[in-house]
């Protein structure tokens, strides 16, 4: 589905035979890529026309475009990151464990980080893994760490790319240095965490999951500064200007849009945003 942010109207909708697990816009905003459980990544234009259908042998849980638009990357349920060159659509495979749930490029498109579930070779033991590659050096592995005892569901780089945060089935929010992957902070929470996101200004970190609560942390001390009751959160994303936050809710099937209100933008929000979007004054906390 594609909506207009201004009024929430539906632009178009596609009915597919399989569940869509991940979706992303291209950097220029002209294309949309969706990964599904039918082992396909489908690329659409803004009118909903199919541009390209990319096949694999497993479902997809995460998807991202490199900021320079050169690569489309998708994390698969069989433990690989699939990279497609968007000029030729030639595919490259990066091994990354048993399941890849989340991935993100650095702003210069030179590095890629991914998280999911790893497994000790020859054993049944699995764990939450994070791995990063250097795109400028034939995709050399920069690091691979065992971050949590259970699968990592989400990984996000901070705006200055000096840290990254992970959340997962281990009921923990963790912060590491990047690219050193040194653990800086571990926060235990009472619920399975499925999503994490930094505010673009870098001052707040948001996390949520199955506990019907969204947690907000100050990134200077990582103290919890706010909580908000929100039904099961599977995905959090924040607009580049830091004013709008989109939350995907799995059990309810809702996509909620919030206005992050602050003194910085007070008086500049449109009448539409003030009357229709639900205000959340997070920055003044």
Instruction: For residue 16, name the pLDDT band (cuts at 50, 70, 90).
Output: confident
**pLDDT of 63 over the 90 cut:** yes
The CATH fold of domain 2-202: Methylamine Dehydrogenase; Chain H (2.130.10)
276 CB-near residues (< 8 Å, 6+ apart): 7, 8
What pLDDT sits at residue 154? 96
Among 1-15, 87-101, 107-121, 175-189, where is mean pLDDT lowest? 1-15
Instruction: For residue 68, name the pLDDT band (cuts at 50, 70, 90).
Output: very high
Domain boundaries, the chain: 2-202, 203-285
What mean pLDDT comes out for the span 151-167? 97
What pLDDT sits at residue 281? 40
What mean pLDDT comes out for the span 181-203? 94
Instruction: For residue 269, name the pLDDT band (cuts at 50, 70, 90).
Output: very low
SS (H, E, C) the chain: CEECCCCCCEEECCCCCCCEEEEEECCCCCEEEEEECCCEEEEEECCCCEEEEEECCCCEEEEEECCCCCEEEEEECCCEEEEEECCCCCEEEEECCCEEEEEEECCCCCEEEEEEEEECCCCCCEEEEEEEEECCCCCEEEEEEEEECCCEEEEEECCCCCEEEEEECCCEEEEEECCCCCEEEEEECCCCEEEEEECCCCCEEEEEECCCEEEEEECCCCCEEEEEECCCEEEEEECCCCCEEEEEECCCCEEEEEEECCCCCCCCCCHHHHHHCEEECCCCC
Q: Does domain 203-285 have CATH number 2.40.10.480?
A: yes
Give 206-228 pLDDT, tens digit per residue. Answer: 999 988 899 999 999 999 999 99
In the chain, the percentage of residues whose pLDDT exceeds 70 is 89
């Amino acid at each position: 589905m594609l909506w207009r942010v201004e009024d929430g109207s539906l632009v178009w909708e596609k009915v597919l035979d399989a569940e869509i697990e991940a979706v992303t816009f291209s950097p220029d905003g002209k294309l949309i890529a969706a990964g599904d459980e039918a082992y396909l990544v489908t690329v659409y234009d803004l009118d909903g026309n199919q541009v390209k259908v990319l096949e694999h042998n497993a479902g997809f849980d995460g998807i991202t475009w490199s900021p320079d638009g050169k690569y489309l990357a998708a994390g698969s349920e069989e433990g690989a990151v699939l990279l497609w060159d968007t000029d030729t659509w030639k595919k490259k495979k990066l091994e990354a464990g048993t399941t890849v749930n989340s991935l993100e490029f650095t702003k210069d498109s030179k590095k890629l980080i991914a998280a999911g579930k790893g497994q000790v070779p020859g054993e049944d033991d699995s764990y939450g893994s994070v791995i990063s590659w250097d795109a400028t050096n034939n995709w050399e592995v920069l690091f691979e760490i065992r971050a949590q005892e259970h699968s990592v569901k989400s990984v996000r780089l901070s705006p200055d790319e000096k840290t990254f945060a992970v959340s997962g089935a281990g009921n923990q929010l963790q912060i590491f240095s990047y690219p050193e992957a040194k653990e800086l902070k571990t926060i235990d929470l009472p619920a399975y965490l499925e999503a994490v996101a930094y505010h673009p200004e870098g001052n707040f970190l948001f996390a949520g999951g199955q506990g019907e609560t969204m947690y907000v942390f100050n990134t200077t001390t990582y103290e919890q500064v706010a909580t908000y009751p929100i039904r099961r959160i599977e995905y959090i994303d924040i607009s580049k200007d830091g004013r709008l936050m989109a939350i995907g809710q799995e059990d309810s099937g809702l996509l909620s849009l919030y206005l992050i209100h602050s003194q910085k933008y007070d008086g500049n929000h449109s009448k539409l945003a003030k009357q229709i979007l639900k205000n959340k004054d997070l920055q003044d906390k």
